[in-house]
């Protein structure tokens, strides 16, 4: 069936559907709101009831802000309850004496109140330092046993006695000979190249060659052994009750002998207690002697050389001794030598104030 044709909208019946009523709805909403809020009666009220003149003294804004800031905040009140915690005052407070006094009074009041509340539980301040004696920790003295300025032996003087000069010369010669012997008798360094004949490429093939006789002999022996093992017959022997009893008795006998030996050893140890105590006393005495020897040796080492501070060891400077032909007996004829800076540097290294370094080689 087909659709029915719509009627014309130009008639009076169609006018009712196209009339807008928005302004009427807005008016009704406004009147209801005014009636509920009481604004509908405002035009009829006199001006005296609507407005009035405030004749009270005006408080400045700054004073109002300060008045509010003078109040104790919640976190400050919590901190004030604890007598061991001092709250940090607000930075906006004026630094006046009156306000400081008021704050101190409030603090004392809060502390007294908190003490009254917590009277049942006595608190102990663990950070209270009254009546405590703090002993200062002793610092280990870093002073060296080696003096800052060492006096050389009398044989090193510009005009030494003959015997002292000979002793110093012998000491210097011994030091030099010790260095020479150490170089000669020390381990030889690994050579960069190894001497030997060069193997030709044709001969390399014959180095790994093998005749094969040894392998053939081993294979032959293995075959013979396998044949003999196959020919053997495995025979199992039945164990009778008599044999089992004999084994059990032997086992018990061995156990009893072990217990008897253990008891005998224990009795011997008990009898030898005095000897054991003497041995322990001797060992303790020997340990004490070794400890004393180590302490003395360590002190002697510290007097002779500093402790190991770096990669390189300390090498003492050679003894400055004049040769026999160089002794003139007068300071004016003495040959000048700049050893003062070197001597001071070696002294600092020897006392452990500087890390010893390797002997530098001069570039040519």
- Residue 309: is it exposed, middle or buried by C-beta count within 10 angstroms (0-12/13-18/19+)? middle
Two tokens, residue 311: 């990669």
pTM for the whole thing?
0.36
CA atoms within 13 A on the CB side of 13: 3
Three-state secondary structure string covering 123-146? CCCCCCCCCCCCCCCCCCCCCCCC
Query: Is there a contact between 312 and 358 (Cβ–Cβ < 8 Å)?
Result: yes
Two tokens, residue 299: 């002190």
Round to whole Å and give the CA distance between 327 and 161: 11
Query: Is there a contact between 356 and 315 (Cβ–Cβ < 8 Å)?
Result: yes
Closest by CA position to 326, among listed 340, 317, 336: 336
Query: Is there a contact between 306 and 351 (Cβ–Cβ < 8 Å)?
Result: yes
Round to whole Å and give the CA distance between 251 and 141: 70
Closest by CA position to 335, among listed 347, 317, 346, 320: 320
Round to whole Å and give the CA distance between 179 and 319: 14
Angle at 304 between CA 301 and CA 306, to 5 degrees: 75
Round to whole Å and give the CA distance between 277 and 270: 11
Any idea where the domains of the chain sit in the sequence?
Answer: 61-115
pLDDT tens, N- to C-terminus, the chain (364 residues): 455 555 555 666 666 666 678 888 888 888 888 777 766 666 777 777 777 777 666 667 677 777 766 677 787 777 777 666 665 655 544 555 556 667 777 777 776 665 555 554 455 566 665 544 454 555 555 567 788 888 888 888 888 899 999 999 999 999 899 889 988 888 887 777 777 777 777 777 776 655 555 555 455 555 656 666 656 655 677 888 888 899 999 999 999 999 999 999 998 888 888 898 999 999 999 999 999 999 998 888 877 777 788 888 888 888 888 888 888 878 788 877 767 888 888 888 888 888 888 776 666 5
Round to whole Å and give the CA distance between 70 and 73: 9
- Residue 155: is it exposed, middle or buried by C-beta count within 10 angstroms (0-12/13-18/19+)? buried
Give CA separation, 345 vs 106, 144, 341, 354, in Å.
Answer: 68, 15, 6, 8
């Amino acid at each position: 069936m087909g659709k029915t044709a719509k009627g014309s909208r130009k008639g009076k019946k169609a006018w009712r559907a196209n009339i807008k009523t928005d302004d009427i709805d807005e008016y009704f909403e406004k009147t209801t709101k005014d009636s509920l809020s009481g604004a509908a009666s405002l035009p009829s009220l006199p001006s005296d009831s609507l407005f009035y003149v405030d004749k009270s003294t005006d408080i400045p804004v700054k004073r109002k802000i300060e008045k509010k800031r003078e109040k104790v905040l919640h976190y400050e009140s919590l901190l004030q309850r604890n007598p061991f915690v001092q709250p940090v005052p607000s930075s906006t407070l004026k630094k006046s004496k009156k306000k400081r006094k008021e704050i101190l009074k409030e603090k004392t009041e809060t502390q007294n109140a908190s003490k009254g509340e917590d009277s049942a539980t006595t608190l102990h301040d663990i950070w209270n330092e009254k009546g405590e004696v703090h002993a200062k920790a002793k610092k280990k003295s870093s002073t060296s046993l080696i003096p800052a300025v060492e006096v050389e032996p009398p044989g090193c003087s510009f005009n030494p006695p003959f015997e002292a000069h000979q002793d110093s010369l012998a000491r210097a010669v011994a030091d030099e000979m010790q260095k020479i012997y150490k170089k000669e008798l020390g381990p030889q360094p690994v050579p960069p190249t190894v001497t030997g004949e060069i193997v030709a490429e044709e001969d390399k093939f014959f180095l790994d060659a093998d005749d094969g006789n040894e392998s053939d002999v081993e294979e032959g022996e293995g075959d013979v052994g396998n044949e003999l093992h196959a020919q053997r017959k495995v025979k199992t022997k039945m164990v009778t009750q008599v044999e089992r009893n004999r084994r059990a008795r032997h086992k018990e006998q061995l156990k009893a002998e072990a217990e008897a030996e253990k008891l005998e050893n224990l009795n011997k140890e008990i009898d030898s207690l005095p000897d054991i105590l003497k041995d322990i006393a001797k060992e303790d005495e020997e340990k004490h002697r070794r400890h004393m020897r180590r302490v003395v040796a360590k002190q002697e080492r510290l007097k002779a050389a500093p402790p190991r501070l770096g990669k390189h060891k300390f090498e003492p400077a050679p003894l400055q001794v004049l040769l026999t032909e160089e002794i003139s007996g007068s300071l004016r004829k003495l040959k000048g030598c700049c050893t003062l800076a070197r001597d001071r540097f070696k002294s600092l290294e020897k006392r452990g104030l500087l890390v010893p370094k390797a002997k530098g080689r001069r570039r040519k």
